[in-house]
Chain A
Amino acid sequence: MEALTDNALMLKVKDNDLDKLGLLFERYKRPLFGFFYGMNKDAELSEDLVQNVFLRILKYRYLFRGEGDFRTWMYHIARNVNHDHFRKDKLKAKDSLENWQERLGTDENRSTEYQKDEELQLLSMAMDRLPEDKREVLLLSKFQDKKYKEIGEILGCSEGAVKVKVFRALQDLKAVYRELEKHM
Chain B
Amino acid sequence: MNTERIQELIAKYNAAQADPVELKLIEKLIEEGLIDLGELHELQALDERLDRMTLPAPSMQLNDTFYHMLAQEKKSAAGFSWKAFFAWPDFAPRLAFASVTLLLGLAAGFLLRAPGQQKDEQIGRLGEEVRDLKEMMMLSLLEKESATDRLKAVSLTEDMDQASHKVTSALLQTLNHDDNVNVRLAALEALKPYVKDSKVREELIRSISKQDSPLVQLSLAEVMAQLQVKSSVKELEKILKNENTPVDVKKKIRESIQVII
Contacts and interface: CB of A to CB of B under 8 A. Distances in A.
Contacts of A95: none
Nearest to A122: B49
Contact of A167 (B43, B66, B69, B74): B43
B52 A120 contact: yes
A29 interface: yes
Interface stretch (A45-53, A63-71, A74-82, A83-91): A45-53
Nearest to B61: A47
Interface string B109-123: 000000000000000
A43 B59 contact: yes
A170 B53 contact: no
A38 B55 contact: yes
B42 interface: yes
Interface in B21-67: 23, 26-27, 30-33, 37, 40, 42-43, 46-47, 49-59, 61-63, 65-67
B102 interface: no
A138 interface: yes
Contacts of B31: 158, 160-161, 163-164
Interface residues of A, number: 47
Contacts of B100: none
Contact of A54 (B27, B66, B89): B66
Contact of B49 (A16, A21, A119): A119
Nearest to B30: A163
B70 A33 contact: no
Contact of A43 (B30, B49, B58, B84): B58
B174 to A, nearest CB: 88
Q: What size tier do the contact residues of chain B reach?
A: 35 or more
B73 interface: yes
Interface string B1-38: 00000000000000000000001001100111100010
Interface in A4-27: 15-16, 18-19, 21-22, 25
B73 A58 contact: yes
A73 interface: no
Among B46, B55, B73, which residue has the most Cβ atoms of chain A within 10 A?
B55
A174 B73 contact: no
A38 B51 CA distance: 12
A55 B69 contact: yes
B96 interface: no
A138 B63 CA distance: 27
B247 interface: no
Contact of A114 (B50, B56, B59, B62): B56
A113 interface: yes
A173 interface: yes
A123 B53 CA distance: 8
A170 B32 contact: no
B67 to A, nearest CB: 7
Among A19, A37, A163, which residue has the most Cβ atoms of chain B within 10 A?
A163
A165 to B, nearest CB: 10
Contacts of A43: 56, 58-59
B108 interface: no
B235 to A, nearest CB: 98
B261 interface: no
Given A18-B70, A33-B57, A127-B53, 19 more contacts: A19-B70, A22-B70, A29-B58, A29-B62, A33-B58, A43-B58, A47-B65, A50-B58, A54-B69, A58-B73, A110-B56, A120-B54, A123-B49, A158-B31, A164-B30, A167-B30, A170-B43, A170-B46, A177-B46
18 contacts: A18-B73, A29-B62, A33-B62, A37-B56, A43-B59, A50-B58, A50-B62, A120-B52, A123-B46, A124-B53, A142-B51, A160-B32, A160-B33, A163-B30, A167-B30, A167-B43, A173-B50, A174-B46
